[in-house]
C-alpha cells in the first residue's frame, strides 16, 4: 500500500459520480474552504478550483469516471491523486455515509498523508489498454457461444463434431444435424454471433497492432521471446503494466499481478489472507494463460511441471509456473534483454 505524502497549500477531495461530484477543498490546517455539490462539468469544476490552483492537490476514488478529471488536472497543471478504492474503504469506513462526508474524508486523507494510491494510467496508452480489455470480453463471449453449441449437442445426445467449431468453415450446416427446428434455430443464432464476434475481434487486433508501432514495439518483441507468450499476451502484459519503472522490486510486481498470496499473521497465528481481489486481474489472466502455453512443445518445462505436481498438486503447479513467468517478464522489461532459457531453468 502506497500513500501520497507530499505537502500542498490546498487539498481537494472529490466524491465523484457520473453526473454529480461533491467537492471539498481544505487548507493545510484542515479548515474547509469550499464544500459544494456540482455537476460533473469541466468548466464548472475549473471555475470552482481557480482560486486555489496555486498549489492544489486533487484526489478522487478510483471509479470508472476518473479519466476526464485526471486529464483536466494535467492541462491545468494541478496535482492529481487517484485513491485506491478497496484500501480507502477499509480506512475511512464509518457508520454514517453520504457524498458530503465522503468528499471531506478524502480531502482529510490526502492532507494527512494517509490516502492509499492507485496507479493513474497515463492518457497516451490508456485507450489502447481499454480496447485490449474489450477484446478479452469479446473473446470470452466467443468461448461461451461455442460452449453453448457443445452443450446443446450433449443435451440431444448428438454425435461429436468431426472438426473444431471455432473455425467458421467447420460450422457450415452445423444446425442441420438437429431435427427440432427451434433447436436448429438456436444453434444457427450462436453460429452467426460467432462469425460477427470473430470479425470484431480481428478488427480490434488490427487497431492495436497499429498503435504498438508508436508506443513500445521493442518491448513487445522482447516479451514474445518467452515461450508461450504470443502477440496478444505480450500486448496485454505490456499495456496492463504501463511503465515497469513504477515497480521498484519484482515482489511489488508479482503482488500487483496477483501471482502471490500474502500471509496474514496475528499473535503468532497464520491464517488465509483477505483482499485477494486487490491487484490486476488482467495480468493474472495473462500469466495464467502463458503458464499453460509455456508447457506446449517444451519437454524441459513439462518435466519441471511434473515435479511441481508431485510436490504441490496440479492447480498450484501452474500457479508456480505463472509466478516464475511473471518474474521473468519483469526482468526482461527492466533490463531490456530477451528470454534466456539457460538462466530460466538453472534458477529452478
Per-residue pLDDT tens over the stretch 223-275: 999 999 999 999 999 999 999 999 999 999 999 999 987 766 777 777 665 66
Identify the helix (H) or strand (E) that includes residue 140.
Answer: helix 123-155
pLDDT digits (tens, 9 = 90+) for 153-204: 999 999 999 889 999 999 998 999 999 999 999 999 999 999 999 999 999 9
Q: Quick one: average pLDDT of 3-10?
A: 94
Residue 111: all three cell numbers together: 492532507
Residue 277 binned pLDDT confidence (cut-offs 50, 70, 90): confident
The mean per-residue pLDDT over the stretch 6-25 comes to 96
Per-domain boundaries in the chain: 3-116, 125-214, 221-346
β-sheet bridge partners, residue 22? 15, 37
Question: 138: exposed, middle or buried (C-beta count within 10 Å: 0-12, 13-18, 19+)?
Answer: middle
Dihedrals phi, psi of 38, to nearest 5 degrees: -125, 165
Q: What is the pTM of this model?
A: 0.88
- Assess if CATH 3.30.420.40 describes domain 3-116: yes
Would the CA dihedral through 291, 294, 299, 301 be positive or negative? Answer: negative
Residues above pLDDT 90, as percent of the chain: 78
Please give the average per-residue pLDDT across 49-61, as a whole number.
95
d(CA 44, CA 37) in angstroms, rounded, equals 11
Contact status, residue 317 vs residue 302, Cβ threshold 8 Å:
no
Cell of 329: 517478464
Joined grid coordinates for residue 18: 457520473
Amino acid at each position: 500500500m502506497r500513500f501520497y505524502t507530499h505537502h500542498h497549500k490546498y487539498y481537494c477531495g472529490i466524491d465523484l459520480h457520473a453526473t454529480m461530484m461533491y467537492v471539498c477543498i481544505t487548507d493545510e490546517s484542515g479548515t474547509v474552504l469550499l464544500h459544494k455539490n456540482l455537476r460533473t462539468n469541466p468548466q464548472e469544476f475549473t471555475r470552482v478550483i481557480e482560486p486555489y490552483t496555486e498549489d492544489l492537490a486533487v484526489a478522487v476514488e478510483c471509479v470508472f469516471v476518473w479519466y476526464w478529471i485526471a486529464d483536466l488536472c494535467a492541462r491545468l497543471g494541478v496535482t492529481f491523486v487517484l485513491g485506491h478504492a478497496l484500501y480507502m474503504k477499509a480506512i475511512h469506513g464509518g457508520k454514517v455515509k453520504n457524498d458530503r462526508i465522503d468528499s471531506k474524508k478524502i480531502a482529510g486523507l490526502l492532507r494527512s498523508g494517509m490516502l492509499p494510491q492507485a496507479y493513474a494510467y497515463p492518457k497516451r496508452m490508456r485507450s489502447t489498454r481499454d480496447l485490449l480489455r474489450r477484446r478479452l470480453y469479446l473473446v470470452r463471449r466467443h468461448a461461451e457461444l461455442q460452449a453453448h453449441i457443445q452443450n446443446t449437442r450433449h443435451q440431444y445426445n448428438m454425435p461429436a463434431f468431426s472438426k473444431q467449431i471455432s473455425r467458421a468453415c467447420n460450422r457450415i450446416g452445423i444446425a442441420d444435424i438437429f431435427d427440432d427446428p427451434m433447436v436448429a434455430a438456436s444453434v444457427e443464432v450462436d453460429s452467426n454471433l460467432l462469425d460477427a464476434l470473430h470479425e470484431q475481434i480481428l478488427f480490434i487486433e488490427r487497431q492495436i497492432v497499429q498503435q504498438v508501432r508508436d508506443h513500445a514495439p521493442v518491448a513487445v518483441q522482447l516479451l514474445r521471446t518467452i515461450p508461450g507468450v504470443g502477440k496478444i499476451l505480450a500486448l496485454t502484459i505490456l499495456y496492463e503494466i504501463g511503465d515497469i519503472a513504477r515497480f521498484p522490486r519484482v515482489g511489488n510486481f508479482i503482488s500487483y499481478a496477483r501471482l502471490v498470496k500474502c500471509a496474514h499473521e496475528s499473535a503468532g497465528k497464520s491464517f488465509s489472507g483477505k483482499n485477494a481481489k486487490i491487484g490486476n486481474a488482467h495480468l493474472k489472466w495473462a500469466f495464467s494463460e502463458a503458464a499453460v502455453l509455456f508447457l506446449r512443445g517444451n519437454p524441459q518445462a513439462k518435466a519441471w511441471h511434473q515435479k511441481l505436481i508431485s510436490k504441490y498438486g496440479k492447480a498450484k503447479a501452474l500457479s508456480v509456473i505463472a509466478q516464475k513467468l511473471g518474474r521473468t517478464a519483469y526482468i526482461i522489461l527492466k533490463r531490456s534483454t530477451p528470454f534466456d532459457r539457460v538462466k530460466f531453468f538453472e534458477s529452478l
